[in-house]
Structure 1
Amino acid sequence: MLDELPRLRRYARMLVRDSARADDLVQECLVRAIAALKSFQPGTNMRAWLFTILRNTLYNETKKARRSVEQTEEPVSAISGGQEEALAMRDVQRAFDHLPPIQKEVVLLVAVEGMEYEDAAAVLGVPVGTVKSRLSRARQDIRAFLESHRKAGGK
């Protein structure tokens, strides 16, 4: 078994592309091989037997990891560096800046300050229906601006 260690490590590194994980995989392979040594038939290819154990160990770990991810309620996502969010917020700010003042007021009161429609209507001195329609138009205008911005390549 010891003679096969360098080959097992090379194979594991090729499979997982991470030397620390590859070493863990080889270690697990050897643990399983020692536990199953009684099932090894003398005269057969020890290297092929060990490589099969290593490969099966990796596949079992991969399946196990997939099942655990599938069982979590929330999907695992990559951690962002914040650049995409910063660009998206810049685009939303630009879209907001293009709104007419009466729509900006409604967005600020309802979306930013969290006021109820009735309270925003009282502040602005307009009916509740007017607040709702201005907010609806503001949302449409922001979406349209963002969509045209995306199509134009982010300029």
Structure 2
Amino acid sequence: MLPDITLHIPAMRRYALVLTRDRHRVEDLVQESLARALAAHRTWKPGSNMRTWLLSIVHNSFVSGWRRERVELSALDGAAAALPPGAGPARPDMQVEVQQVIDRLLALPDGMREILLLAVVEEMSYREIAEMLGIPMGTVMSRLARARAALREQVEGAAVPTRRPALKLVE
């Protein structure tokens, strides 16, 4: 018997939004993923991380759909509309800031965007992300570092140095 998977639906929606970049496709992907999870409930190992298992199913469902369709994904307009009710900020100026953050996040390349969301929003460990995506842990760490640097660059509007400048010793 599966534990209550409904607790993980918000995380599945967030990850689906990052994957699809299309708020109209989020619910379809989550629904398809939930159906697959229920059909494959015997593959979940009791004691393992349910959220990681479900997010893996979302990822695999997305990849399968992408391979079937072979179409370009449309850009997301109005990402804030995909936020759950009451999740948005109360002040209009903060709503603009939230939209800017979402826009910057969605502008990142796919691999970086996915890993940034999983690490920062879903608070998954490098190991969990690596296992879920089937990539080396070093790749996760590298993509996460590049994603953070790219976001800093977008915010600051200047190139982010790849190395710290050498310290000058004062004699």
TM-score of the aligned structures, taking structure 2 as reference length:
0.38
Larger RCO (alpha carbons 8 Å, 6+ apart): 2
Which structure has greater helix proportion? 1
Structure showing greater Rg: 1
